[in-house]
Amino acid sequence: MSAFDIALDYQRERERRALDNPYHLTTSETAIARDLVAGRSMPEIAAKLRLTDASLKTHMDRICEKVGASGLTHMLHLLSTLPQMRIQTNVVDIDDFRIAFGLGGPFRQG
């Protein structure tokens, strides 16, 4: 394999990753963005990721800045257009099912 082939493979991999994450969000920012697009509240996200409210707000401000959004609603609209952020609407979360039918809190596998 020549140096040209290696460079070409590297460039193709960088282009593929750029398509997967066009806004260059960090892992934490991506997790927050997915939870927001899924409809989770800020207190739920903070508890899930063990973040303080101030830390979550800082992450959200950075996400807004990276995606070029003027606010939360605009950010959610932009993020929801990304294929990896779309939520399957035909899938029901087990916790939602349990709560809806009065079967208690979060499902825990023992």
Which domains does the chain carry?
Answer: 3-100 (1.10.10.10)
Question: For position 7, what pLDDT does the model report?
Answer: 72
What single letter denotes the amino acid at residue 63? I
Question: For position 59, what pLDDT does the model report?
Answer: 92
Q: Given pLDDT bands bounded at 50, 70 and 90, which one contains residue 91?
A: very low
Helix crossing, 27-37 with 72-80: angle to 10°?
A: 90
* Cα 105 to Cα 67: distance, rounded to the nearest angstrom: 35
Say whether pTM exceeds 0.75.
no
What single letter denotes the amino acid at residue 88? Q
